[in-house]
Amino acid sequence: MNTLLLLALVVAIGSAMDIFTDIVAITIGGVTPTQLGVFNTIGYVVYLFSLYIGGRLGDKGIIKIQLLFATISLITYGVELEVFFNTRLLQHLYIMYISYSILQAFSLTAVTAYIHEHNPSYYWEDLLVKRSIATRAFEFILLGFLSVFSDFIVGNLYMFISIIGLPVLLSFLVVRDPPLRIERTLYRIEAGITRIESSITNNLFIYELLRGDHRVLISSFKRKTIRREKPRKPFTVLACLTLYRLSNGFLLVQLPVYLRSLGYVSTSILGVYALARGLLIPLFILQSNRANGIKQRLILRGLIPLALLPPLVNTSFLIPVVVLSLILYLNSVIDILFYSLYVESLGRAESTTYLLLGESAALFATLLSGYIYSLIGFENIVFLTVFMVFLVASLI
């Protein structure tokens, strides 16, 4: 469990650097919405490439090399951050986006591989939820620190990078690759046996129904073996995931720009993201992660961004905090449910395709987000994403 917490902290560091870099680019670099979309797009391209490599390594049970790449990328980020503050040259932002994207990708695939390889399959979903809770808690602490001690960070960048780099380096030193890489194979065998059992039971039920043997019918009904929900097709799950990630990208990439246009300064924006992460902790602890509730969660996720529309968002600083917190919470839960449905539909644990397709959709959304923001404004983006999420809920 301590190792899982350490890896969750590494994932949180990558996420915090994502938000921190966007705010630095907007407030210090003075980038436009279109430029912000371009920077994020470059980062996403690198992220996808790293995600592919990390996913392939993770599917083979290789974790340590991924954490080595994460450590090197964070060191590079720290050096470029110092140079950017001294020169204000935008080309250093490019390297910063590339560096934290590598950190994000390899930390995510590393912790996923750790969960799959070091734990029995019946613990996977529970551990994914616990990892999410721990990650959000660490994000709350990190972003809160960035918001409150921004002046200290600006004057002591190398010290700051050294502090957040220590857990990444420690994870590389502590985490070991699994000695036996058999858990995915056992899960694949178990899933295959379950499908065969379900097929035999359903065929037997039909046979007995035709014979008119109602005792078998009643017995089968009580066991609920005939009421198992038919698994979704992998294509359906991936199509819904793609559309959902597109809606998220359109909404969340330009949110800091929107808050900036409302008069929020850099520390206030960081405060919004920090408090939103803080509210996530009790939400994750109290959640019920049943896959049959994915439609309801999608509908709720579609409606919540409406609170970001004027004049409601201008009435209180807490409005964007609560809205962002609920969006991030539902995104995390829905992503876990999507992944669970995808694994169930395949009958095996395979994360590379799922991660690559989802992040490719996010890349496309990021590339277009600045243009769409300039064209229709954030308010119409909200309405567009509501429609997209409702469409996903109708298809899944």
Of 252 and 120, which is predicted with more confidence?
A: 252
pLDDT greater than 50 at residue 253: yes
Ranges 120-124, 125-129, 317-321, 380-384: which has the least confidence: 120-124
pLDDT the model gives residue 122: 67
Predicted local confidence at residue 165, as pLDDT: 87
Share of the chain above pLDDT 70, in %: 82
Residue range 338-345: mean pLDDT, rounded: 77
The model's pLDDT over 304-328, given as tens digits with 9 standing for 90+, comes to 989 888 877 777 778 888 988 889 8
Half-sphere exposure of residue 264: CA atoms within 13 angstroms, side-chain side: 26
Lowest mean pLDDT among 209-218, 282-291, 293-302: 209-218
State which fold the 2-180+229-395 domain adopts: Growth Hormone; Chain: A; (1.20.1250)
In this prediction, residue 73 carries a pLDDT of 93
Residue-range domain boundaries for the chain: 2-180+229-395, 183-227
Q: How many other β-carbons are positioned within 10 Å of the β-carbon of residue 27?
A: 17
How far apart are alpha carbons 144 and 132 in whole angstroms? 18
Average pLDDT over residues 181-210: 45
Please give the Cα distance from 278 to 321 (Å, whole number): 10
CA–CA dist 385, 250 (Å, integer): 7
Residues 6+ away with beta carbon under 8 Å from 34: 370, 371, 374
Reported confidence tier of residue 224, pLDDT bands at 50, 70, 90: very low
Q: What is the pLDDT of residue 1?
A: 62
What CA–CA distances, in Å, run from 175 to 54, 66, 172, 347? 15, 11, 6, 28
Q: For the segment 38-82, what is each residue's pLDDT rounded down to a tens digit? A: 888 888 889 888 988 888 888 788 888 999 999 999 999 988 988
According to the model, what pLDDT value does residue 264 have? 82
Q: Which two tokens stand for residue 316?
A: 């209180």
The predicted model scores a pTM of 0.68
| pLDDT recorded at residue 99 | 94
18 contacts: CB under 8 Å, gap ≥ 6: 100, 104
* Cα(381)–Cα(4) distance, integer angstroms: 37
The three-state secondary structure class of 131 is: helix
Contact indicator for 244, 92 with CB cutoff of 8 Å: no
- pLDDT, tens digit (0-9, with 9 covering 90-100), for 197-206: 444 444 443 4
CB 114 within 8 A of CB 175: yes
What are the residues whose beta carbons fall under 8 Å from the beta carbon of 130, sequence distance 6 or more? 4
Distances (CA, A) of 142 to 9, 73, 94, 135, 165: 10, 18, 23, 10, 12
At residue 383, the pLDDT reads: 92
CB 42 within 8 A of CB 98: yes
pLDDT score, position 189: 44
Which is more confident, 367 or 246?
246
Over 80: is that where the pLDDT of 185 sits?
no
Q: Is the pLDDT of residue 151 over 90?
A: no
Angle at 71 between CA 175 and CA 82, to 5 degrees: 155
Binned at pLDDT 50, 70 and 90, residue 152 comes out as confident
Residue found under tokens 């009790």: 282
pLDDT band of residue 160 (cuts 50, 70, 90) is confident
Residue 204 in 3-state DSSP? Answer: helix
DSSP string, 171-189: HHHH----S---HHHHHHH
Exposed, middle or buried by CB within 10 Å (0-12, 13-18, 19+), for 305?
Answer: buried
CA–CA distance, 325 with 338 (Å, rounded to integer): 20
The better pLDDT of the pair 239, 234 is held by 239
